[in-house]
Structure 1
Amino acid sequence: MRRLLPLLALAGCAGAQNPLDAYGIQAGRIASLTHVLFWGSGAIFLLTMGFLALAILAPPRWRAAMGSRRFLLAAGVAFPVTVLTALLGYSLGVSRALTEPLSEAPLRVEIIGRQYWWEVRYPDLGEGAVTANALHLPVGREVELNLSSADVIHSVWVPNLHGKLDMIPGRVNRQRLRADRVGTLRGQCTEFCGTQHALMAFDVVLQEPAEFEAWIARQRAPVPAPETEEHRRGMEVFGEAGCGACHAVRGTPWAARIAPDLSRVGSRDTLAAGALPNTLGNLAGWIAAPQDIKPGNAMPAYARALEGPDLLALASWLESLR
């Protein structure tokens, strides 16, 4: 087991939620600051331990020199004041650089934190450009995240792109970032917001501009009409069960904003804000018993309200919305 500990530590230096694996200029600056502070403090620690070793093991003549007034002023006052002042100046410079705009016309993206999921809207790209628990961004273009909360304080953090920022009810906090390479990352709520705070994640998909535009076009388009009898029945069950009172599906009469938009739910990688992989079986299980999977969320259970064939038809229709 002890031999595995270094490997486990190294595993934290890679992956889709690693602040040292920068996917953009802001995360790169934060990573550089981290390296400077970490290696700088490490060097100072080794230097201090070296002086300690000399004070214990060095000949008396050396120890007497280390106890002189000049040495104490140099090593105990001048050195730490100089180093700490330099690090403070560097840290403040990085902090200021993180807030500097990179362009005059960034793409605005609204992220609204809710217990326990994320609503994502693209107001610059049309009224229908909305999704849930998935943030798609074009690489090479600056984005302004407008962060707000519909209930309690949340905090959004995509470690590979930027630092964390609180989402406070009644106000909008803004964060600018730019992704410079494609990939799929993971964001997380980092402010305790209730019983399911740990299961409040979202996917961050970084795409080439043309691919991003195609994705936006699909999001804005109405969903296609059901093509099979099972899907037609599933759509009917969606209306009969009252799902449209909370959820929206573009191109249908259902346009509520209480719960996640389900217009393209079949194309998402996860369900319930990262709680489950998005499969047909998991989707049916989530509809039937959401409180068994994520206790305390606002989704009612439909295990007793829906017969087995209707539940599967509903899940199959939703899974087809891509």
Structure 2
Amino acid sequence: MSGLQSALEPAGEQAAGIHGLFWLMMLVCGAMYLLVLGGVAWTLWRAFRRRRPASEPTIDPPDIGLNRGMLGWAGLIVVGLTVLITASFLVERNIAAARARDALEVRVTGHQWWWRIEYRDPRTGGWIETANELHLPLGRTTRVALGSADVIHSFWVPNIAQKLDVIPGRINLLDLTPTRPGWFRGQCAEFCGVQHAHMAFDVKVDAPEDFERWLAGQAKAAAIPADPVAARGQQVVTGGQCAMCHTIRGTPSTGRAGPDLTHFGSRRSVAAGTLTMSRGAVQGWIAQPQALKPGTMMPPVALSGPDADAASRYLMELQ
């Protein structure tokens, strides 16, 4: 699974504000740190320079209370804290103000250990479901409603916006306004179980017209396979164990326990970023999910060699 993942390379309005605040804090705190080190060095230099012989009696300096040096240090601390508090307030206000009336509505639900993603269809008002891959229109704000089906997760795309906890029984709103096209990597940033490290997702930022075409394609039902091997694979997938947990629109598969597979083959990864999408990865995941992602809710599916080949070919054709 590839994609840029760095909070130091912002590709969204929210991330850019946080990035600027980070460097301001580094500048202010770094300057204060150097001043403290300078004061310590100056004090030590004066102490060694004025060191008296052991026989000479020492006289304690008079207590003169606060002096100008102490007041100066206090003033620097107050100014530094004021700058940081003001900047933090302004960044948070700008992030909160990003919510536009024409924002794209997306629902993201965290599961152990994958992401259910649903888009509001602008034509029908219904919801278009995918999984483990988030597509965003360039330059437009997307309002993400975050919820959890089990435990606490945390949704984070470092290049585009801040992280936000995903809490059972609560909906948290996060705005994403990407400013640069490309692929980015998101992940769960809150330990949520043994496969927390394998709960990632791809993020694709497209030009608005490309995003609209992609969303219209995702709204369609699965295509009927023309290849006889893939047709056999459709029978295996939709008439067997897979149909109990997965939905493939336009087929008898209507399960809700696992990810929607209607356009599974168009995604870049298998099992929430655990494996790169390929027929071999799909076959391995179907046969031995516990060997690849121990603790996952996906049960092993025992298929013969020809059936496994047919099922993987069918799933890869779900574009």
- Report deviation, 1:83: 1.3
More helix by share: 1
Code of the aligned partner of 2:81: L
Name the SS for the 1:152 alignment partner. coil
Cα distance in 1, alignment partners of residues 48 and 65 from structure 2: 13
- Among candidates 88, 92, 104, match of residue 91 of structure 1: 88
Could you tell me how far 1:39 is from its partner in structure 2? 1.9
Q: Which residue of 2 aligns with 1:156?
A: 155
Match of residue 111, structure 1, among 108, 112, 123: 108
> Are residues 1:173 and 2:172 paired?
yes
Relative to structure 1, is the Cα distance of residues 219 and 62 closer, same or farther in structure 2, using a 3 angstrom cutoff? farther
1:38 equivalent in structure 2: 26
Q: Report the counterpart of residue 19 of structure 1 in structure 2.
A: 7
SS at match of 1:253: coil
- Provide TM-score, normalisation by structure 1: 0.89
- Structural mapping, 1:1-322, within 5 Å: 16-58=4-46, 69-125=66-122, 126-127=125-126, 129-302=128-301, 305-322=302-319
Displacement, 1:61? 9.1
Q: How many angstroms does 1:294 deviate by? A: 0.3
Post-superposition CA distance 1:227-262 (Å, at most 9, x none): 111101101111332211111112112222210011
Give the structure with higher Rg (CA): 2
Deviations, residues 106-156 of structure 1 (Å, cap 9, x unaligned) = 111000001110000012445352110000000011110000011111110
Q: Give 1:315's aligned amino acid.
A: S
Find the aligned partners of 2:131 and 2:23 in 1 and give their Cα distance. Answer: 35
SS at match of 1:266: helix
Cα distance in structure 1, aligned partners of 2:238 and 2:13:
46
The equivalent residue for 2:60 is none
Is the partner of 1:129 in helix, strand or coil?
A: strand
Kept in 2, the 8 Å contact 1:107–1:124? The answer is no
Q: Greater CA deviation, 285-294 or 223-232?
A: 223-232
- The ranges of structure 1 where at least 4 consecutive aligned residues each deviate by more than 6 angstroms after the TM superposition are 59-63
Aligned partner of 2:54 in structure 1 is none
Residue type at the aligned position of 2:195 = Q
Counterpart CA distance in 1 for 2:138 and 2:172 is 22
RMSD after superposition: 2.0
Report the Cα distance in structure 1 between the residues aligned to 2:144 and 2:215, rounded to whole angstroms.
17
Amino acid at match of 2:275: L
Aligned pairs, number: 303
**What is the deviation of 1:62?**
10
Q: Which runs of 5+ in 1 are unaligned?
A: 1-14
**Contact 1:231–1:313 (Cα < 8 Å) also in 2:** yes
Q: C-alpha distance in 2, partners of 1:151/1:19?
A: 28
Q: Secondary structure at the match of 2:144?
A: strand
Say if 1:58 and 1:264 are closer, same or farther in 2 by CA, change over 3 A. Answer: same
CA deviation map 1:185-223 (0-9, x unaligned): 011111111111110000000000111011111111112
The aligned residue for residue 59 of structure 2 is none
Letter in 2 for 1:193: C
